[in-house]
A and B are shown apart, each in its own frame.
Chain A
Amino acid sequence: MKVLVPIKRVIDYNVKVRVKADNSGVELANVKMAMNPFDEIAVEQALRLKESGGADEVVVVSIGPSQNQETIRTGLAMGADRGIHIEASHDIEPLAVAKLLKEVVTRENPGLVFVGKQAIDDDCNQTGQMLAALLGWAQGTFVSGIEISGDKATVIREVDGGLEHLAISMPAVVTVDLRLNEPRYASLPNIMKAKKKPLDSISVEELGVDVSPRLTVIKVEEPEARSAGIKVADVSELVNKLKNEAKVI
């Protein structure tokens, strides 16, 4: 079975983002970029599946400008076998991303798609569910555990009230949550090896998908900043402030 893992290049999760002065978006110039942390977990899960004999090939795919090839190389250095870069010059919305991925799925015919449950830049939490809908496949979302046997998988989902176990038919799209695994670091020899792994580029046009945006961003603003308050000396001062000043207890 082949596993496809879509990966997104985003601002590194440690970077404090800054809104551009003209309110057109956030500052991306000279900012450290990295693989979306949820997608790293997806890559890791695909690799573990392969290592346990449950998959024979792991293919990573990323959509964006040429710099996305670095993100793909990161996935290859972690252990993925092959990369696909879909060249796109502007931001692509989740619906269009799902349509592009559907075309990749049609070409590659994977038995499973692992993808992060959300990207930490736009925080949309849509792509996996949309891809499953377009393919008519089952979806397991926010997954923190998975067991595959034959053409069925049992997934454990992190839901608001706790955990939910679902049986899903394969092929399926599984969106992964934080506690599924801890992704490995790429070792130096593997980073060197990754440079020789196959990486194909395809253009959006070749895939025949209309990726024109449906939403218009009018402005991006800084949220109202919360200023630091005061330090209290001890617990009784704290309780006194909460009771008499803030009046919340």
Chain B
Amino acid sequence: MSVLVLADHDNGQLAGATLNTVTAASQIGGDIHILVAGDSSGDVANAAAAVAGVAKVLVASDESLGHGIAENVAPLIQEMASGYSHLLAPATTTGKNIMPRVAALLDVMQISDIVQVVDANTFQRPIYAGNALATVTTDEAIKIVTVRSTAFEAAAADGGSASIEDATAGSDAGLSSYVKSELSSSERPELTSAPIVISGGRGMQDGSNFAMLEKVADKLGAAVGASRAAVDAGFVPNDYQVGQTGKVVAPDLYVAVGISGAIQHLAGMKDSKVIVAINKDDEAPIFQVADFGLVADLFEAVPEFEKELS
């Protein structure tokens, strides 16, 4: 048995979710290989080779692989698949884009977004926005699985000494090409791996009011998130969204500010260790999942919260 993990990266850095996926791979068992498909991504390959528990890193380097275009990456994985019992990828937007394409090329039914490895053929995954957990088993010759990073600890980023080998470079399928990115830049920790997250909802009333949350975030070393309502209203960009169809987070502390708590939002944060809700509506459903609830006007409570942290 051996497991191939597709690395998520930007050609410069290995994305943290890859480490959580390696942990899921180690629970399955067998040799763990990491595929780095990219363009001049030598640093990523070195980082992947240092991850504890990884036996081999395969590097496919080509201009056509530089932006994770699914039409170019999927045939590459398809070609390598026969040597593996499992193909894993983090359930990031990259993994979600590429792996179903691989699965269809291999005529395999994928298992998406697992939160537990029961055994090498059996996995648990949330359905209905996490309101139910399904345990599913498969006897496909190759198992294709995407992994919810918050459900698995990160493997140690150092201590490993995997060999690095070149893999087939692949070629441009000629179907899609990268144009440009508009990426949010922030000095704060990444939302899905931050130990503390402070999120704002519709109650924030305006994008400029998120500055209040940012001040608190900077004092706590926290990431800033948002509910769908706040993103739809244009207060903050899409990559802030926490929920069923946005990002799933499970920090040590999640502070929900002006968020009512629709089930779609709860799906993205209810596995946080401690949840705080600040909302002026004492009937808001968010209080049903909060460890500590404060019924207050957020425009008074948040600045006071920031001051108390000093």
Contacts and interface: CB of A to CB of B under 8 A. Distances in A.
A228 to B, nearest CB: 5
A230 B104 CA distance: 48
Contact of A219 (B135, B228, B295, B309): B135
Interface string A168-189: 1100100001110000000000
A226 B178 CA distance: 43
A178 B104 contact: no
A27 to B, nearest CB: 10
A166 B238 contact: no
A117 B117 CA distance: 25
Given A126-B100, A218-B135, A221-B132, A141 B232 contact: no
Nearest to A99: B104
Contact of B136 (A216, A223, A226, A231): A216
Contacts of A126: 100, 103, 110, 112
Contacts of A231: 282, 287, 292-295
A162 B71 CA distance: 21
B308 interface: yes
Given A130-B103, A220-B127, A230 B293 contact: yes
Contacts of B133: 220-223
Interface residues of A, number: 80
- Scoring B130, B134, B273 by chain A CB atoms within 10 A of each residue's CB, the highest score goes to B134
B54 interface: no
Interface string A129-170: 111111001111110100000000010011111111111110
Contact of B138 (A19, A162, A214): A214
Contacts of B208: none
Contacts of A139: 70-71, 97, 101, 176
B295 A162 contact: no
Contacts of A68: none
Given A120-B129, A165-B180, A249-B196, A159 B93 contact: yes
Interface string B221-236: 0000000100110000
Interface string A87-112: 00000011100100000000000000
A228 B287 contact: yes
Contacts of B291: 229-230, 246
B23 interface: no
Main secondary structure of the interface of A (DSSP, over half): mixed
Contacts of B111: 215
A16 B104 CA distance: 32
A218 B100 contact: no
B92 interface: yes
B110 A229 contact: no
A69 interface: no
Interface in B239-276: 239, 244-245, 247, 252-253, 263-264, 270, 273-276
Contact of A123 (B112, B238, B288): B112
Contact of B304 (A129, A130, A220, A235): A235
Contact of A95 (B70, B107, B288): B107
A246 B183 contact: no
Given A126-B110, A165-B180, A138 B238 contact: no
Interface in B279-303: 282, 287-296, 301
Most buried by A among B110, B122, B290: B110
B156 interface: no
Given A165-B180, A220-B135, A232-B293, 14 more contacts: A17-B131, A26-B128, A94-B109, A95-B109, A127-B100, A129-B70, A138-B175, A163-B183, A163-B237, A179-B238, A226-B275, A226-B288, A242-B274, A249-B253
Interface of A: 11, 13, 16-17, 19, 26, 38, 93-95, 98, 117-118, 120-134, 137-142, 144, 154, 157-169, 172, 177-179, 213-223, 226, 228-232, 234-236, 238-239, 241-242, 246, 248-249
13 contacts: A123-B128, A125-B113, A144-B238, A160-B239, A161-B184, A164-B67, A166-B178, A214-B140, A215-B137, A217-B135, A229-B291, A241-B292, A246-B274
Interface of B: 10, 67, 69-71, 74, 92-94, 96-105, 107-113, 122, 126-138, 140, 174-184, 192, 196, 220, 228, 231-232, 237-239, 244-245, 247, 252-253, 263-264, 270, 273-276, 282, 287-296, 301, 304-305, 308-309
